[in-house]
Amino acid sequence: MSQKIIIVGAGLTGSLLSIFLARRGFNVEIYERRADMRTANISAGKSINLALSVRGIHALKQVGLDAAILKHAIPMLGRMIHLENGETSLQPYGKNENEYINSVSRKDLNVVLMNEAEKFPNVTFHFNMRCTGMNLQTGEATFFNELTQTNHSVIGDTVIGSDGSASAIRMEFLKSGFFNFSQQYENYGYKELTIPASENKGFRIEKNALHIWPRGSYMMIALPNEDGDFTCTLFMPFKDGNKNLAQLKTIGNVTEFFNEVFADAVPNMPTLLDDFFANPTGNLLTVKCFPWHINDKAILLGDAAHAVVPFFGQGMNCCFEDCYNFDLLVEKHGNNWLTIFEEFGKLRKENTDAIADLAVENFVEMRDLVANPTFMLKKKADVLLEEKFPEYFISKYAMVTFHRLPYAVAKQRGQIQDKILMELCSKITTIEELNLENAISKIKDEFRRNGIEEKIQLND
Amino acid sequence: MSQKIIIVGAGLTGSLLSIFLARRGFNVEIYERRADMRTANISAGKSINLALSVRGIHALKQVGLDAAILKHAIPMLGRMIHLENGETSLQPYGKNENEYINSVSRKDLNVVLMNEAEKFPNVTFHFNMRCTGMNLQTGEATFFNELTQTNHSVIGDTVIGSDGSASAIRMEFLKSGFFNFSQQYENYGYKELTIPASENKGFRIEKNALHIWPRGSYMMIALPNEDGDFTCTLFMPFKDGNKNLAQLKTIGNVTEFFNEVFADAVPNMPTLLDDFFANPTGNLLTVKCFPWHINDKAILLGDAAHAVVPFFGQGMNCCFEDCYNFDLLVEKHGNNWLTIFEEFGKLRKENTDAIADLAVENFVEMRDLVANPTFMLKKKADVLLEEKFPEYFISKYAMVTFHRLPYAVAKQRGQIQDKILMELCSKITTIEELNLENAISKIKDEFRRNGIEEKIQLND
């Protein structure tokens, strides 16, 4: 087990994976493009906070870090919907108060993972090392040290590319020939904004919720942070539609727009204009590719293999589930990398495809449907059906978020459930009118027609 | 008009485009990775022969080269189907003997185009120059001269990447950020094989046909060449299914396989074993991407923008149609590259997507359906309907191959037609049983339901 594993990227996926592999006795060298976020004053990149749920927690538990992470997390019990008229309503995420998601700081989480990894004598981090490529035959990876401006190279028994959605390792796969690949950008951008804490670190709006201002073709959301502030994100078309980012050029444009459509939020956003013009506009990207490995020399993992849009809150959870599944295969096959890589692809590909698709679909739900009366009835139907028929019915959101059954199964069952329930709910005005027996019987029929088992097989 | 245009790639697309642009007075510099095929003894790459049809001919006509090319082409009037029991039958491509496709040599065609281009004083070819990248801000393209082993760079007012499905220019687009891209390989490979001429350059099998040995999950085809030989191509799964390329490892395997499934071809393939083991196994790739341009500095054209699988015989024809359309926009907008590039993308993207999808679908038709009784009836129905209702009905194959209406329209109309006719033909045993009035009425209904005009708008 004196094999050397090179991990490219010390983000959430690379850092957690290094712990799993260190526990198995491998020598792990992690190369990270950025400076050490524990000492340098840099952001953790991408979104500031994330929604940690069951899949992510389960993986963290395997390495004994779940409690440490959850101690600093803020439970979000549901979606707090802010309508244009200023009304708000809470749509619970789960069937009871034990089902919630956790707002965590990307940076805090990454730091906990890096600190834990460094406790192992067989893990070494190398910062400021930008990957410039790798030799897929020999396992030699090359790096440019941004501080010393020098080139480095290192040979591993295998190389793991956990270097994110713009992966440098994946670029080598692309050059190598037979490699199915797609990257698809949404016609939407996003801006991170802030609702700062009030005095004494107080929360200006409901602390234990994920806030949504749904506006049809665009939306704003806000997630709470431990210090009392909220990270808001405005998602909006770049240039399509009635309202778009291209229109928001001047202080006047932005002020007018926010006053018009997010009136109840504006009083809580004193730094709005500074944030809006200082922060970059982010992209929303889905990456799918396959195979994820080249022989036994390199494998892509996490966002490098399957970047998703953020609308199901599953990006990190999916990546952590990758790490957990990868570790199970290492337990089974030791250092037989080819077998591990092949089985990992077979196990994960259909599931990461499924969550990628679900995440794109959920954007419509968040920005539009949550304010729709039929959808609100459907949410209530979800709860009632799960209470009454727990062996046969779990809502799509819950299957993805509060259980660990494969994403592909959650997608297949969830889409059938949602279609039938939206149809039934479109014909009623109160949830009491819904015949639950009839609904579950229609759903079971459709499961059968699609070759799906009626009973849910949970693996919790 | 003293602007300098850099074309990367002197294949069929780049060479034809250089003629169009030279005629408009631009200074054109073409850089080609390979040696000059007119003097070096190299293959033209990829498939040896191609099926030239109306779109390609129309583009060649604009530059006065149609007659010169067609003089050396061999008309293929239909598909000659070779069943496993040795029976053969000809399925005509068109409704009459004026509708056929033309087998042309890729190399001969490329040479004619290069010779024509070089007649212009404002066109210069540079061979053995492998593109190593470009600067998308400045329009500087860099090359490595494979002969002198030296680096070169050149700045153009704009750069056209017609450097094929593995485009180096496109790699720069990929690195630049917001760029939707997918490359999808089929799980099939191909092998080029030969049916040599008999004595005195005689054709051993029917000269004026495209021969197909359909075998369900795989197939062989053969196209005639001017010298009397046929280029055969075996398309077969790499490793899936009952029969696959991975099984064909030894002389014994190959001999047994060909004797079993292509028995009537084997006596005409004296060099089969040499060809099989000497020739590389090719890949089948679909590339889609967008946008095709970065500002006014670079655009992708031809296979670099939209590589397709070869099963509709439209790869080259589509690329030539690109050149024709591009030239129309240059006529309209001069050297306003940004406008030209934007309009080109708007005009072509949905059509190149359509032919990419049609080409994948046609693989099933060629390897499987052509031997299916319902499909054979449907082919007859196509002819009868087009005779009887020429304003409303043209077969999908003919819309793509013998007309120039947009590929997207051909796909939309063709899929509706085929679905209805396959259904109707599955219920009959002879074509006389088909009620043509009923068929066209069903088709028109479905056109209306899909918002398609009943009458065909031809642009021939």
Of B171, B180, B184, the CB nearest to A183: B180
**A158-161 and A4-8 strand pairing:** parallel
Question: Nearest to residue A77, comparing CAs of A59, A68, A89, A86?
Answer: A89
Minimum distance, in Å, between the CA of residue A286 and any CA atom of chain B: 10
**What's the pLDDT at B43?**
66
Q: Is the dihedral of CA A345, A349, A355, A359 positive or negative?
A: positive
Minimum distance, in Å, between the CA of residue A208 and any CA atom of chain B: 35
- Mean pLDDT within A327-338: 97
Residues B185, A179: C-beta atoms closer than 8 Å: yes
Residue type, B197: A
Q: Inform me whether the pLDDT recorded for A149 exceeds 80.
A: yes
d(CA B129, CA B435): 61
First-to-final CA distance of chain B: 31
Give contacts of A179 with chain B, Cβ < 8 Å.
183, 185
pLDDT in tens, chain B (460 residues): 579 999 999 999 999 999 999 999 999 999 999 999 999 877 655 678 999 999 999 999 999 999 999 999 999 999 999 999 999 999 999 988 999 999 999 999 999 999 999 999 999 999 999 999 999 999 999 999 999 999 999 999 999 999 999 999 999 999 998 999 999 999 999 999 999 999 888 999 999 999 999 999 999 999 999 999 999 999 999 999 999 999 999 999 999 999 999 999 999 999 999 999 999 999 999 999 999 999 999 999 999 999 999 999 999 999 999 999 999 999 999 999 999 999 999 999 999 999 999 999 999 888 888 788 999 999 999 999 999 999 999 999 999 999 999 999 999 999 999 999 999 999 999 999 999 999 999 999 999 999 999 999 887 6
Out of A408-417, A435-444, B300-309, B365-374, least confident range: B365-374
Q: Inform me whether the pLDDT recorded for A194 exceeds 60.
A: yes
Residues B183, A185: C-beta atoms closer than 8 Å: no
Can you list the pairs that B439-446 forms with residues at least 24 positions away whose Cβ atoms lie under 8 Å? Answer: B439/B381, B439/B385, B440/B385, B440/B388, B440/B389, B440/B392, B440/B393, B443/B392, B443/B393, B443/B416, B443/B417, B444/B392, B446/B416, B446/B420
Q: Residue A46: which pLDDT band, with cuts at 50, 70 and 90?
A: low
- Mean pLDDT within A331-359: 98
**Backbone torsions φ then ψ of A378, nearest 5 degrees:** -60, -40
Taking CA–CA distances from B172, the nearest residue in chain A reads A171
Residues 6 or more apart whose Cβ sits within 8 Å of residue B155: B4, B138, B139, B140, B141
d(CA B193, CA B279): 8
Taking CA–CA distances from B284, the nearest residue in chain A reads A178
Helices (H) and strands (E) in chain A, counts: 14, 19
Residues A185, B182: C-beta atoms closer than 8 Å: no
Residue B224: asked if its preceding bond is cis (omega within 30°), the reply is: no
**What's the pLDDT at B1?**
54
Give contacts of B185 with chain A, Cβ < 8 Å.
178-180
Give contacts of A307 with chain B, Cβ < 8 Å.
none
Please give the residue that has the higher pLDDT: either A168 or A364: A168
Q: Inform me whether the pLDDT recorded for A45 exceeds 90.
A: no
**Backbone torsions φ then ψ of B388, nearest 5 degrees:** -85, -35
Residues B184, A184: C-beta atoms closer than 8 Å: no
Residues A184, B179: C-beta atoms closer than 8 Å: no
First-to-final CA distance of chain A: 31
- Mean pLDDT within A395-410: 97
d(CA B384, CA B445): 19
pLDDT tens per residue across span B221-263: 999 999 999 999 999 999 999 999 999 999 999 999 999 999 9
Interface test with B, best of A130, A181, A187, A342 (most B CBs within 10 A): A181
Residues of chain B by 3-state class (helix, strand, coil), percent to 5: 40, 25, 35
- The domains of chain B are located at 4-73+105-183+285-362, 185-283, 372-449
Question: CATH number for the B185-283 domain, one of 1.10.357, 1.10.238, 3.30.70, 1.10.3470?
Answer: 3.30.70
pLDDT tens per residue across span A272-314: 999 999 999 999 999 999 999 999 999 999 999 999 999 999 9
Give contacts of A181 with chain B, Cβ < 8 Å.
181-183
Residues 6 or more apart whose Cβ sits within 8 Å of residue B263: B84, B86
Residues 6 or more apart whose Cβ sits within 8 Å of residue B163: B8, B9, B11, B14, B33, B131, B169, B170, B304
Interface test with B, best of A178, A284, A353 (most B CBs within 10 A): A178
Interface test with B, best of A167, A183, A187, A190 (most B CBs within 10 A): A183
pLDDT tens per residue across span A165-181: 999 999 999 999 899 99
Residue B214: asked if its preceding bond is cis (omega within 30°), the reply is: no
Give contacts of A173 with chain B, Cβ < 8 Å.
none
Domain B4-73+105-183+285-362 has CATH 3.50.50.60: yes
Residues of A near B (Cβ–Cβ under 8 Å) read: 171, 174-175, 177-185, 283
**What's the pLDDT at A365?**
86
Give contacts of B183 with chain A, Cβ < 8 Å.
174, 179-182
Q: What is the 3-state secondary structure (H, E, C) of B42-98?
A: CCCCCCCEEEECHHHHHHHHHCCCHHHHHCCCEEECEEEEECCCCCEEEEECCCCCC
Residues 6 or more apart whose Cβ sits within 8 Å of residue A256: none
Give contacts of A183 with chain B, Cβ < 8 Å.
174, 179-182
Q: Residue A131: which pLDDT band, with cuts at 50, 70 and 90?
A: very high
| Interface ipTM above 0.85 | yes
Residues A178, B171: C-beta atoms closer than 8 Å: no
Q: Is the dihedral of CA A244, A249, A251, A256 positive or negative?
A: negative
